[in-house]
Structure 1
Amino acid sequence: MDSKTYISSGILELYVAGALSEKENQEVYEAMQKYPEVKAEVISIESAIVQLTAFAKKDDSYSFDAIKNQLTVDEAKVIPITKPSKTNNWKQYLGWAAAVVFGTTLIFSVLQNNKLKTQLASEKEVLEAQIDSASTSLAAAEKLIEIFRDKDIISVPLAGQTASPTSYAKVYWDKKTNSIYLDAKGLPEPPKGKVYQVWSLKLSPLTPTSLGTLDSFTADANKIFTITNANESEAFGITLEPAGGSNTPTLEQLYTLGAVSS
């Protein structure tokens, strides 16, 4: 039997699996000594089995020697094995191969199951966060409704000015808590590098006091802002200023203005 016949016959896989008779083991051993390509094929088969088994056992120290155990020996000795029929040889080999495939498939299934559990846990956390956020938003909305309906709250409409005639806003001033609630839905998106700044105004003499900038204007979907105001305000205005705000209002960029009713 030449080297190509040995390689294509399937006998080398049976040799590696330890499923040959003593005589057949000896014949393969001699062929390995005679044909380097036969020996290389045996080494290749052993390497493939080592990789499969090492994956299944998750143990880097698990070597082919542990798989073979007493199925093969060194070059000076062949283990005597009772010769089975060719049908039984193939049954043994196929059973062994099926066990490896089944074990690998089972491990893959376990890994996929763990991955799915992790994904579901992550989605559950996201859903819970969304529910919490929705609950918080609902509570905030209910609080605002109560504030807007409070008879002691001062409502101040802010009309559009020359810089932006179509703009509008509204201030709800709660003097008991020194707070204003600014509804800025009627303002356009500020240009890049610009920010809206809110001013409390005394009219005589005209004295502006900054109440801060609306830095989160673009990100805030509701455009309702809570601002501290302990001033004796007579009017409120909103200007468009460079990012970071200004010490005094830029009157040419006055977007809205409204006086507090006496």
Structure 2
Amino acid sequence: MDIKAYIKSGILELYVAGQLSEKENQEVSQLMQQHPEIHQEVLEIEAAIVKLTEATSPHAVKFDALKDKITETKVVALKPKTSNWLSYAGWAASIILAAGLLWTLNTKNQLEEDIKTVATEKQTLELQIEDARHSLAKTKDLLEAIRAKDIVTVPLNGQGNFDTSYAKVYWNKNDNAIYLDAQGLPEAPKGKVWQVWSLTLNPLIPTSLGTIDDFNSDDNKIFAIANTNESQAFGITLEPEGGSETPTMEQLHTLGIVNTTP
């Protein structure tokens, strides 16, 4: 075989870089044992890589210091080694291949991150869709309830200094529930809650129907409230968190009397 042509082919650089197949590695190893020239070339390639690594490391010797050292040292003439451009080309190809593999790995990692992001966004969207469906179903149920044939509508008007407040009660006596539309009430201040009252007028007896703790966070401001009382009126007051046993009349925002006229 033509040893020089084989050396110039670049296969030895690929061998050192670990880019050959197992079969090709075995072939190179056998030729190294048979031909000392090939073995020597592999050693020189490995030495060149070591020097290149040292030259590019953070602790590499500065050029000026190296030049001064060479000046002080006795120069020994060595037989110049013929440049092997094909070998360098093969080594350069190995570096380019390694860079390409690194780029592919980074691209794969970025793709995996993008897939995770899309999956998270998809899950969030599914939850939003489910919430929208639930809200739509709730709205449909409320509309059916307030449009029932036997529903009693009770407007609650603003009282005293709160004349801009308003609300409306839809009372279905058949299922012992009221549906309170409280869109006309302002948000409850910090530390306060809206409390709903059922009233009998003669004598005046207030009965708490509970507090609306989620008033500020509720979007449609319509609330279903149990009511088993023979109510003659409904009122809404602003009370401390946790509610009050009796209504604070100074904080009576709305009041409405049930119309008993057929």
Q: Tell me what 2:209 maps to.
A: 211
Q: Partner residue of 2:73? A: none
In the superposition, relative to structure 1, how do residues 39 and 93 fare at CA in structure 2: closer, same or farther (>3 Å)? closer
Counterpart in 1 of 2:76?
Answer: none
Unaligned residue ranges in structure 2 (runs of 5+) = 1-12, 19-37, 59-80
Equivalences for 1:31-110 in 2 at 5 Å?
Answer: 41=54, 44=57, 86-110=84-108
Q: What SS does the aligned partner of 1:166 have?
A: coil
Q: CA 1:110–1:26 in structure 2 vs 1: closer, same or farther (change >3 Å)?
A: closer
Matches of 2:41 and 2:108 in 1, distance apart? 43
Give me the identity figure in percent: 48
Q: AA paired with 1:22?
A: Q
Match of 1:261 among 250, 259, 262: 259
* Residue 228 (structure 1) aligns with: 226
Aligned residue number for residue 35 of structure 1: none
Structure 2: distance between partners of 1:153 and 1:26: 98
Q: Which has the larger radius of gyration?
A: 2
Q: Deviations over 1:149-185 (max 9, x none)?
A: 1121111110100141111000011111111100000
Q: Does 2:165 align with 1:167?
A: yes
Alignment of 1:97-246 (within 5 A): 97-246=95-244
How many angstroms apart in 2 are the aligned matches of 1:148 and 1:155?
8
- Aligned equivalents of 2:141, 2:43: Cα separation in 1: 87
* Cα drift, residue 43 of structure 1: 8.9
For 2:63, the equivalent position in structure 1 comes to none
Q: Distance in 2 between matches of 1:119 and 1:26?
A: 49
- State how far apart, in whole Å, the 2-side matches of 1:184 and 1:40 are: 76
Report the alpha carbon displacement of residue 40 of structure 1 after superposing the two structures with TM: 8.1
TM-score normalised per structure 1? 0.70
Aligned position for 1:22: 40
Unmatched runs of 5 consecutive residues or more in structure 1: 1-13, 33-37, 46-82
* CA shift for structure 1 position 84: 9.0
How many residue pairs align between the two structures?
A: 205
Structure 2 CA distance for aligned equivalents of residues 107 and 27 of structure 1:
27
TM-score under structure 2 normalisation? 0.70
Moved over 2 A (4+): 17-29, 42-45
| Deviation of 1:44 (Å) | 3.6
Q: Distance in 1 between matches of 2:95 and 2:173?
A: 83
Residue type of the alignment partner of 1:164: F
